[in-house]
Chain A
Amino acid sequence: MKQFVLASIIAGALALPAAAADYKIMAPAAPGGGWDQTARSMQTALQDEKISSSVQVNNVPGAGGTIGLAQFVNQANGDPTQLIVGGYVMVGAILTNASPVTLDQITPIARLTGEYEAIVVPAASDIKDMAGLVAKLKADPGAVSWGGGSAGGTDHIAAGLLAKAVGVDPTKINYIAFSGGGEALAAILGGQVTVGISGYGEFESQIKAGQLRIIGISSEAKVEAIDAPTFKESGVDVSIQNWRMVAAAPGLSADQKAAVLADVDKMVQSATWKKILADKGWANTYLAGDEFSAQLKKDTEATAAILKDIGLVK
């Protein structure tokens, strides 16, 4: 007990003054992945800009974020200090998992960023470009193993769309799910899977270091900072953007929602946030409030159609 008392004295001396705008952000993914990076970037921006004095991030990984979402819906109800990061992946995962909780149950705040899907191979791979990958895929779809995030996520959807676009049965792709960016990246670097498919940001430092070769990016048009052809430029008619959002707890009053929205708006306009976006190569696709809610609804409907098309949802 002596140590507890000692600790409490020291802790008391150090403890930050309790502020009104403390936030807890849930990243419903394993550490290292896209949502985790988004949550931690928000943490940095909110704290550095003094919008909130203390921001905690916790990770609840699994199944395209639906595990975290379920937990968030359960435990955050009516608590305006809790936020959850999510994104396009969640839209798909809710459908494929027949999740008992949906995005209708949380309070959407804003879409923050968008990231494009990149396809990479280890530097030593014999696949040099998109044509090489397509040829392999057509020869034997099972022989091309795709390492990416959880089943039914953006990575999985993008792989399926690509297969469909080049005339390969999308249900035949050999997709290996990993629970977090770190684990998938290790498998790609180690040559355990044929190709890796995930958000560009997860591969960026390895691409720059020459350990991975990027063979395509899923944007509509060429992205300046990324030295790779788009899928479309390589003759594959697929484009997909993995947007990320922040949402608040269910059961908030209009005032509480407005307060959170104001804090997020302040964060998005801040210099710190803009610098983070630039550093990470994330496109600023900020869309807030009701406009975002409408867009979210549209995306949900469109995704349901895509998933059915590629056989991930019956």
Chain B
Amino acid sequence: MDTFGLLAQGLLTALEPMNLLYALIGVTLGTAVGVLPGIGPALTVALLLPVTYKLDPAGSLIMFAGIYYGGMYGGSTTSILLNTPGESASIVTALEGNKMARAGRGGPALATAAIGSFVAGLIATIGLAFIAPTIVKMALSFGPAEYFALMILAFMTVSAAFGDSTLRGLTALFIGLGLGLIGIDLQTGQARLAFGIPDLLDGIEVTTLAVALFAIGEALSVAAGKSSSSTIQAVKGSVWMTREDWRRSWKPWLRGTAIGFPIGAMPAGGAEIGTFLSYSVEKQLAEKPEEFGHGAIEGVAGPEAANNASAAGTLVPLLTLGLPTTATAAIMLAGFQQFGLQPGPLLFATNPQLVWGLIASLLVANLMLLVLNLPLIGVWIKLLTIPTPWLYAGILTFATLGTIGANAAVSQVNVLGLFTLPVSFELGMLLAFGLLGYGLRRFGYPIAPVVVGLILGPMAEQQLRRALAISQGDLLILIGSPIAVILLLLAATAVLLPLYLRARGRGKVLAQLGASED
């Protein structure tokens, strides 16, 4: 049977009423767990995987796909509404999405996220079906030097979130980089900056830092500055996307997909990098760049599409090479294995029915997510009408719930020399970083660069050191391939162009100032 025939057959199976019901249940469960801050799609799928064991292979696959998409969408919802990213790939979404929600445009933000995710998931899944072998070849050509160049490009995107002060933006970034040093160094096995604390050997968990800085830091900040109004406007204008919103969203959806899909397919890419790059691209291309930082819809549409596209991209190396490149992919592997499916280079040849069944399931689950969530947007944004005290009390409850559920580690702590208590170290970190988040807000430091530094720093360091070890210390390897050179040139442009434009702009402003003071 040819590709189309197999896909059509898979779709027919997936569209049977019983299977649609499984998809619906999967999406609902996935969303319910996925909304917990700190619990991303990987953990959601892992937690809920046993539920699928009881079904027949087709039903199981389709519910599984539903859980996966639901888990991803759940993370975005809390990012937008509560400024509490559910997982590292939806951190960028919080930047613009929450600003939109506060300005009464939570509906359009959720809608552009949902529709963007759908569009990206659709295109990327079709991409998975038809161009996987090509994409995987490109992904494998990425070595440490190319990854390092990609990280440099991603670093440039941080400056897009710097806000109005380079000093404070850089400081925030380096706080993140400093935190990224903590833990055991992979290449030598040495513990760095762990100060003999075993809990620190694992390094700082990205989601813990993000939840603390965003959710707890903000709760502290809002509570302490009661007089100053950071009022939330629940709804202003339509709950739905206006014609203008559509016009501004569709290009970012497509660009986000184009960025996210290949990066997701790279064995060491990671969904976050796609979202960073997409955010930066949208800021550069926006008609109204001044809206960025104040709720620009492009800044939600692009990264959300990139996130979903990269999730489908992850399946490319998994299905074509048997390489599970993310935690989610590894858990999927466990899911496949229950049907005796052994992902690997020969999978498409030996098990076409199940592979196409999975692809069809992803398409259907993706559609189900949209069908389920668009009508629910009206319900979701009602969350914002909850009075502030209850709202923040609830946010803190859910923020800590996610952390407790994701990391059950405890250490014995001696209280005032009187008695010992089992205490969750991760909750202690949550509190410490929450206070850091408050301090950063108080003095006008941006939050996002801290998290970005923590994610990108260790990746960049490991890739650089791998590249230089392979070349035996020859720095030329860093510009040794066309891909690396192009990425580095892009990075340079991304830094220099705005500087140049700003310098020109500031010249004008200075001239005006001088004129008016005379």
Which residues does A use to contact B, with CB under 8 Å?
Answer: 2-4, 6-8, 10-11, 14-16, 30-32, 36, 40, 43-44, 47, 54, 56-60, 62-64, 66-67, 70-71, 73-75, 93, 96-97, 100-101, 142-143, 145, 150-152, 174, 176-179, 182-183, 185-187, 189-193, 205-206, 208-209, 211, 279
Contact = CB atoms under 8 A, between A and B. Distances in A.
B237 interface: no
B188 A174 contact: no
Given A3-B31, A63-B189, A209-B345, A176 B470 contact: yes
A3 B469 CA distance: 52
A10 B462 CA distance: 44
Contact of A43 (B198, B321, B322, B334): B334
Contacts of B345: 205-206, 209, 211
B134 interface: no
Contacts of B51: 11, 14-16
Given A32-B323, A75-B410, A183-B267, A67 B184 contact: yes
A99 to B, nearest CB: 8
B28 A40 contact: no
B325 A182 contact: yes
Contacts of B376: 3
A151 B29 contact: no
Given A62-B186, A151-B189, A205 B342 contact: yes
A211 B317 CA distance: 14
A261 to B, nearest CB: 24
Contacts of B32: 3-4, 7-8, 11
A257 B322 CA distance: 36
A186 B325 contact: yes
A30 B410 CA distance: 22
Interface of B: 25, 28-29, 31-32, 46-47, 50-51, 53, 139-144, 183-184, 186-191, 196, 198-199, 201-203, 267-268, 317, 321-327, 329-331, 333-334, 337-338, 342, 344-346, 376, 379, 408-411, 425, 462, 466, 469-470, 472
A176 B466 contact: yes
Given A74-B199, A177-B186, A185-B323, A47 B53 contact: yes
**Which 7 A-B residue pairings sit nearest by Cβ, starting from the closest?**
A31-B330, A205-B344, A7-B32, A186-B267, A209-B345, A192-B143, A190-B140
B327 A7 contact: no
A64 B293 CA distance: 42
Contacts of B462: 179
A94 to B, nearest CB: 10
A40 B337 contact: yes
Nearest to A190: B140
B330 A32 contact: yes
A16 B51 CA distance: 7
A186 B411 contact: no
Contacts of A6: 28
Contacts of B333: 31-32, 40
19 contacts: A6-B28, A11-B51, A32-B324, A59-B327, A62-B203, A63-B201, A71-B199, A93-B189, A100-B196, A150-B186, A151-B188, A176-B469, A177-B186, A179-B186, A183-B325, A186-B267, A187-B144, A190-B141, A192-B470
B29 A7 contact: yes
A269 to B, nearest CB: 21
Nearest to B467: A192
A187 B189 contact: no
Given A70-B202, A74-B410, A152 B267 contact: no
Contact of A31 (B202, B324, B469): B324
A276 B145 CA distance: 38
A128 to B, nearest CB: 22
Contact of A70 (B31, B198, B470): B198
Contact of B331 (A31, A63, A75, A191): A31
A120 B479 CA distance: 28
B472 A142 contact: yes
